[in-house]
Amino acid sequence: MPLVIVATLVVSSMSAVLALVIVLVDLVVNNYGEVKIDVNDGAKTLTVKGGSSLLSTLGGEGIFIPSSCGGRATCGVCKVRVASDVGPHLPTELPFMSGAEIKDNIRLSCQIKVKADIKIVIPEELFAIQRHRARVAEIVDLTYDTKLIRFSLLEPAEMKFTSGQFAQIVVPPYERVREETVRAYSFASTPARPNEVEFIVRLVPGGTATTYLHKHLAVGQELAVVGPMGEFRLHDNEAAMICIAGGSGMAPIKSILFDMRERGIGKPAVWYFFGAVSKRDLYLVDLFRELEASWPSFHFVPALSAPLPDDHWDGETGLVTTVTKKYMDEKMDKSAPKEAYLCGSPGMIDASVALLKSEGIPEDKIYYDKFS
């Protein structure tokens, strides 16, 4: 037999043996058998197959912990309190934990594996989160890289959310992506239409979910939407309201402002600063101008950080934080109590929080969702 064929046979046999050994080791080492998850001190007891992350195990049982990055330990959203010993915090968890959270054994549910019986404590409202079958009803190009996607909910046919919250869009496997991809998107629509939900999705070049949602998703297609989730929402008080958003951070602010109008909720003054680079990044300007015309205490201020000569821009120019500061110093009542609602990239949020604190807004009156 030629040497090359013998060599090929030997290499293939060795690979097959190696694969078999890996499968056997996985079966032995990672076989934790059945384990029990005690939820909220006996309120629910789940018997599950051990070995997977707490996040995915609970999801398989219909308990959806809010999360955004699909378990990559980059969003820090999937926190739960673990009331039994699951070992020390992992290096991947620590960047997201305060000292108090570490003491309280708050954990990233995507990072801990269910290997033995475990006790967890989660807020009751998480039991209301459901996985909905949804059909794409409309896709609208808002800019060159931002789309509005509207879903009709099929089963369950309604999602009772609060403006400011988010849902997870479950992107099916496609091309070289072998598994479902789960990402968070804030509602852009209002709770008045619980049978339809709208999202504003900005394309992240090379991004797994946004590439699918921008380049593959079609009207009529069905996929899953899980929600509602999140703590970002309107607070009931008499403070003047400052909203700052950039990019797709428009979504929850739009939902909150239109929800206020629909429900007749007033505030002494409402300012909305929307930051974009140049005119091609601006959208829904006419919609907010119309809102401004019908709502005397509402002011919409789009700001461009780098308008192009062809933009012929005569609006505010500069970083959205610089423009916000200008308006706070020159146009707002300095002594009036204020609160702030921020949405967008972590960098924009951090810069906005620093500005608002320096302008005297207490930290506990600054609410935000970082689109990390």
Ligand X SMILES: Cc1cc2nc3c(=O)[nH]c(=O)nc-3n(C[C@H](O)[C@H](O)[C@H](O)COP(=O)(O)OP(=O)(O)OC[C@H]3O[C@@H](n4cnc5c(N)ncnc54)[C@H](O)[C@@H]3O)c2cc1C
Tell me which of 39, 59, 63, 76 binds ligand FES, using CB under 6 A.
76
Name residue, tokens 């070995």: 51
If binding is defined by CB under 6 A, does position 170 make contact with ligand FES? Answer: no
CB 276 within 8 A of CB 248: no
Task: State the Cα–Cα distance between residues 100 and 105, nearest whole angstrom.
Answer: 9
The window from 67-75, 234-242, 258-266, 322-330 that contacts ligand FES (CB under 6 A) reads 67-75
Q: What is the dihedral of CA 292, 294, 297, 298, to 10 degrees?
A: -30
CB 167 within 8 A of CB 184: yes
Residues of this chain, 257-316, that bind ligand X according to CB under 6 A: none
How far is CA 372 from each of CA 67, 167, 185, 278, 366, rounded to the nearest angstrom? Answer: 11, 15, 11, 23, 18
Q: Which amino acid is at 363?
A: E
Tell me which of 75, 243, 328, 348 binds ligand FES, using CB under 6 A.
75
Closest residue by beta carbon to ligand X: 207
How far is CA 86 from each of CA 51, 58, 95, 131, 258, rounded to the nearest angstrom? Answer: 13, 16, 18, 28, 44
If binding is defined by CB under 6 A, does position 51 make contact with ligand FES? Answer: no
Task: State the Cα–Cα distance between residues 342 and 92, nearest whole angstrom.
Answer: 26
If binding is defined by CB under 6 A, does position 355 make contact with ligand X? Answer: no
**Considering CB under 6 A, how many residues would be counted as binding ligand X?**
25
If binding is defined by CB under 6 A, does position 211 make contact with ligand FES? Answer: no
The window from 31-39, 73-81, 307-315, 341-349 that contacts ligand FES (CB under 6 A) reads 73-81
Q: Which is nearer to ligand X, 39 or 256 (CB)?
A: 256
Tell me which of 184, 304, 361, 366 binds ligand X, using CB under 6 A.
184
Q: What is the dihedral of CA 6, 12, 13, 17, to 10 degrees?
A: 160
Phi then psi for residue 131, to 5 deg, are: -95, 120
CB 170 within 8 A of CB 182: yes
Two structure tokens written together for 369: 């969702």
CB 126 → ligand X: shortest distance, Å? 15
For residue 86, count other CB atoms closer than 10 A to its CB.
Answer: 18
Q: Which is nearer to ligand FES, 69 or 204 (CB)?
A: 69
Tell me which of 96, 151, 161, 185 binds ligand X, using CB under 6 A.
185
Binding track over 77-96 against ligand FES, x by CB under 6 A: xx------------------
If binding is defined by CB under 6 A, does position 165 make contact with ligand X? Answer: no
Tell me which of 56, 57, 68, 211 binds ligand FES, using CB under 6 A.
68
Tell me which of 210, 255, 305, 321 binds ligand X, using CB under 6 A.
210
If binding is defined by CB under 6 A, does position 110 make contact with ligand FES? Answer: yes
Two structure tokens written together for 158: 């309604």
If binding is defined by CB under 6 A, does position 71 make contact with ligand X? Answer: no
Residues that bind ligand FES (CB under 6 A): 67-69, 71, 73-78, 108, 110
Residues that bind ligand X (CB under 6 A): 68, 75, 77, 166, 181, 183-186, 199-202, 204, 206-210, 230, 248, 251, 369, 371-372
